[in-house]
Amino acid sequence: MDTLIHHISAWDRLPLQVRQWHVAPDAEPEVGPGAQPDGGPVPQSNPGLDTRPNAQPNAGSGAHRPAGRHHPPPPILCLPGLVRTGADFETLAAEIGHDRRVVTLDYPGRGDSGRSRDVNRYAPEACLRDVMDVCAALHVHRAVIIGTSFGGLLAMGLAAARPALVHAVVLNDIGPDIAGDGADFVRDFVGHDPALPSLEAGAALLRASLPPMSLHTDAAWRRMAELTYRAGPDGLWHPNWDTAIAQLLNRPPPDLWPIFGALAHLPVLLVRGAVSNILLPGTVSRMQAVHPDMEVVSLPGIGHAPILTEPPALAAIQNFLARNP
């Protein structure tokens, strides 16, 4: 699988790490230099784009343009959860990126993107601006957005703020109402640094504390730990995010139903963990009332949030992409 790592200076010069998978040489988007998806100028921060690959392409990549296609299909923009990183989508990208660009990023304060002394730099509004910067820098427009949890809320925000960026949306276990019990767990998890002695201890902690997930082997849990913790200079393993992000979760939640309404005229697929403590059945019913054409796939025995390579979820996403070329 081809992986390109880009480094972009955000609007305030904070460094952002961006991943891009399955880029076929003849499948670059047809957007003129210096143009945003809405036709405006590229922000001054974006000349900081470094397009040199950090990883060499692997032989045998499935990247290609289907026969008879005159224009590349819309790219896929994957937006991770609140303190997750773009690396979460690596396995999914290998399954769905054969004829499309797949782009994702680490938000500020997460993964390999920069840290800030101001916790407000990690707020949803700032992250939304970062996503728009990345789309402008990489000429992403009319994207199919796959948003997990917090990333799904950003997808709604993009549809409201920059409708030309959004072609279709996959929401992963998120809606306009967030259940209180799930929100309390997330706040505690995000704000706690367990300072673990080893990666194996991290895998054990995740296995014991996370909601039910479709991770069935020791190797799968170890990989989840690798994506969640990183070794510090003290030799211990710490969260791969700034734990100050938890402070944002103490604020009263806004009314998110108006921005969900921005998806009313777009194709939408909702993937839900059937035992999710974040997205409750009543919220799904109300979402379907607002958007009757929204497809819903429920994964039995799975909590927040699906990893999207579960067979029913992956099949639904592949079919959704095929119907929205």
Low-confidence spans in the chain with pLDDT less than 70? 1, 23-70
CB 106 within 8 A of CB 79: no
Domain spans, the chain = 3-180+255-323
Whole-model pTM above 0.95? no
Instruction: Return the number of other C-beta atoms located less than 10 Å from residue 48's C-beta.
Output: 16
68-91 residues labelled b (16+ CB within 10 A) or e (exposed): eeeebbbbbbbbbbbbbbbbbbbe
136 closest CA partner among 53, 72, 44: 44
**Spatial distance between the Cα atoms of 150 and 88, rounded to a whole number of angstroms:** 14
Angle at 79 between CA 74 and CA 81, to 5 degrees: 160
**Contact between 295 and 268 (Cβ < 8 Å):** yes
Mind giving me the DSSP string for 271-302? EEETT-SSS-HHHHHHHHHH-TT-EEEEETT-
* The three-state (H, E, C) secondary structure of 84-139, written as one string: CCHHHHHHHHHHHCCCCCEEEECCCCECCCCCCCCHHHHCHHHHHHHHHHHHHHCC
pLDDT of residue 24: 53
CA-nearest of 11, 228, 245 to 132 is 11
Rounded to the nearest 5°, which phi and psi values hold at 198? Answer: -160, 165
59-96 tens-digit pLDDT: 333 333 344 446 789 999 999 999 999 999 999 999 99
Evaluate whether the domain defined by 3-180+255-323 bears CATH number 3.40.50.410: no
Give the whole-angstrom CA distance, residue 182 versus residue 203.
21
Q: What is the separation of C-alpha 177 from the centre of its chain, rounded to a whole number of angstroms?
A: 19
Give the pLDDT confidence score for residue 50 in this predicted structure.
Answer: 43
Q: How far is 110 from 280, CA to CA, in rounded Å?
A: 27
Tokens 């504390």 locate to 209
Sign, Cα dihedral of 174, 223, 127, 182: positive
Strand 15-21 and strand 3-9: pairing?
antiparallel
